[in-house]
């Protein structure tokens, strides 16, 4: 996108901006010339210049010098006017102007976007991740080096940048300081490691998920700073085995975690330090009766996971509740957990 923005600047400097500046210069020069040669008022001189440039007509009460000046103005002004109008019409008809305006809007969005994910790579895995983020209305930016994949991401409605995800300058441009997390899903393990390492150096507190194809890459991604490492092939194999052995369990998990399900959802809710639920037990918080949710597990601030907690289990500030319930109930719980 940086190259596109630079190209736009060059285009506007050499194209429409130059043409408009040339037309304005011709009109201004013609106005000044008629004032000097014929002694007309500014409006009469401007009016005559516009008539001459547009070849609509002219005045007959001019001196010989004025007539010569009009000939020169016609020869130069008509060409400038035709060039300007033709260029602007071409931009509108061929769609060049909307595309450039879209790139400018994207550049402004990159400057203001926050609490978003940076998705590195838009291949088979990256495009699926993007669709999941879109379904849940989570803002994200795609960073991809392949031009065709960048175009595919834009067609799919994503904000995309054609660049190297391992470049610190690129990560800064896509707002890593304001990002919620980074997902490294580039085609090769080496690129993912470099992307994770660059992001970790720039944001020590950033949540990073890395994609790995081999066990060796899993270790390297963790050493580079990834909080979670996922192997699509391993997860796919486990999913196939679980589907064959426990189809009902798999169906339930898919139902609970699907963003399309309107009746049941599983979500993680972070308990803020200022929340009234902090330092209360599950029973005291009365989550079941107030919100109609089931607490499946509690992830402590030190990442320990407690499954099926007892009613007298204390909820601490910074803990994450893994709960099951209706989406609207989960929204209300999330709101109170953050207050």
- Only one residue has tokens 């979670």, namely 228
- The whole-number pLDDT of residue 69 equals 80
- pLDDT tens-digit series, residues 163-189: 999 899 999 999 999 999 999 999 889
pLDDT at 3 over 50: no
- The whole-number pLDDT of residue 232 equals 87
Class of residue 223 by CB neighbours under 10 A (exposed 0-12, middle 13-18, buried 19+): exposed
Residue of 275 and 80 predicted with greater confidence: 275
- The whole-number pLDDT of residue 5 equals 47
- The whole-number pLDDT of residue 27 equals 84
231: tokens are: 């192997």
229: tokens are: 């490492």
Q: How does residue 110 score in pLDDT terms, banded at 50, 70 and 90?
A: confident
Percent of the chain with pLDDT over 90: 37
Chain center to CA of 338:
26
Residue of 86 and 332 predicted with greater confidence: 332
Report angle CA 145, 184, 216 to the nearest 5 degrees.
115
Q: Fold identical between 2-97 and 114-235?
A: no
- The whole-number pLDDT of residue 2 equals 45
For the chain, the average pLDDT equals 84
E strand or H helix at 143, and its extent?
strand 140-144
What are the strands of the beta sheet with 265-270, ordered from one edge?
265-270, 320-325, 294-299, 305-307
Q: Where are the domains of the chain?
A: 2-97, 114-235, 263-337
Secondary structure (3-state) at 33: helix
- The whole-number pLDDT of residue 11 equals 45
Q: How does residue 12 score in pLDDT terms, banded at 50, 70 and 90?
A: very low
Q: How does residue 36 score in pLDDT terms, banded at 50, 70 and 90?
A: confident
What are the strands of the beta sheet with 181-184, ordered from one edge?
159-162, 140-144, 117-120, 181-184, 207-211, 228-230
- The whole-number pLDDT of residue 199 equals 95
pLDDT at 38 over 70: yes
2-97 has CATH 1.10.287.70 classification: yes
Per-residue pLDDT, averaged over 289-314, amounts to 90
- The whole-number pLDDT of residue 102 equals 62
E strand or H helix at 189, and its extent?
helix 189-202
Q: How does residue 322 score in pLDDT terms, banded at 50, 70 and 90?
A: very high
Q: How does residue 201 score in pLDDT terms, banded at 50, 70 and 90?
A: very high
Q: Are strands 228-230 and 207-211 parallel, antiparallel or unpaired?
A: parallel
174: tokens are: 């896509």
The DSSP call for residue 176 is: G
Residue of 210 and 232 predicted with greater confidence: 210
Percent of the chain with pLDDT over 70: 86
Per-residue pLDDT, averaged over 155-161, amounts to 90
pLDDT at 106 over 90: no
CB 149 within 8 A of CB 179: no
Q: Are strands 294-299 and 117-120 parallel, antiparallel or unpaired?
A: unpaired
Which superfamily does CATH assign the domain made up of 263-337 to? Regulator of K+ conductance, C-terminal domain (3.30.70.1450)
pLDDT at 258 over 80: no
Per-residue pLDDT, averaged over 306-333, amounts to 90
- The whole-number pLDDT of residue 205 equals 94
- pLDDT tens-digit series, residues 52-98: 777 766 666 677 777 778 777 777 777 777 777 777 666 665 555 55
143: tokens are: 């960073």
114-235 has CATH 3.40.50.720 classification: yes
């Amino acid at each position: 996108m940086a190259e596109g923005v630079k190209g736009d600047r060059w285009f506007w400097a050499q194209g429409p901006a130059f043409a408009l500046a040339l037309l304005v210069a011709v009109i201004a020069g013609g106005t000044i010339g008629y004032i000097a040669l014929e002694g007309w008022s500014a409006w009469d001189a401007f009016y005559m210049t516009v008539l001459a440039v547009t070849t609509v007509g002219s005045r007959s009460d001019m001196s010989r010098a004025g007539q010569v000046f009009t000939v020169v103005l016609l020869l130069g002004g008509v060409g400038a006017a035709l060039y300007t109008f033709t260029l602007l019409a071409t931009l509108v008809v061929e769609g060049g102007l909307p595309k450039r305006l879209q790139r400018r809007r994207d550049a402004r969005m990159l400057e203001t976007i926050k609490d978003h994910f940076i998705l590195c790579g838009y291949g088979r895995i990256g495009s699926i991740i993007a669709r999941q983020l879109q379904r849940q209305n989570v803002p994200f930016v795609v960073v991809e080096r392949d031009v065709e994949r960048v175009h595919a991401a834009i067609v799919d409605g994503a904000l995309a940048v054609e660049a190297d995800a391992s470049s610190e300058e690129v990560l800064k441009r896509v707002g890593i300081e304001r990002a919620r997390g980074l997902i490294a899903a580039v085609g090769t393990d080496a690129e993912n490691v470099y992307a994770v390492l660059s992001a970790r150096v720039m944001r020590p507190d950033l949540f990073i998920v890395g994609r790995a194809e081999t066990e060796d890459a899993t270790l390297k991604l963790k050493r580079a700073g990834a909080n979670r490492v996922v192997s699509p092939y391993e997860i796919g194999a486990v999913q196939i085995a679980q589907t064959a052995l426990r189809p009902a369990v798999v169906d339930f998990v898919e139902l609970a975690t699907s963003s399309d399900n309107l009746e049941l959802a599983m979500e993680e809710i972070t308990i803020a330090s200022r929340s009234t639920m902090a330092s209360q037990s599950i029973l005291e918080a009365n989550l079941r009766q107030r919100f109609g949710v089931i607490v499946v597990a509690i992830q402590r601030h030190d990442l320990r996971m407690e499954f099926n907690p007892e009613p007298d289990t204390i909820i601490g500030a910074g803990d994450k509740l893994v709960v099951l319930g209706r989406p609207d109930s989960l929204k209300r719980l999330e709101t109170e957990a953050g207050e």
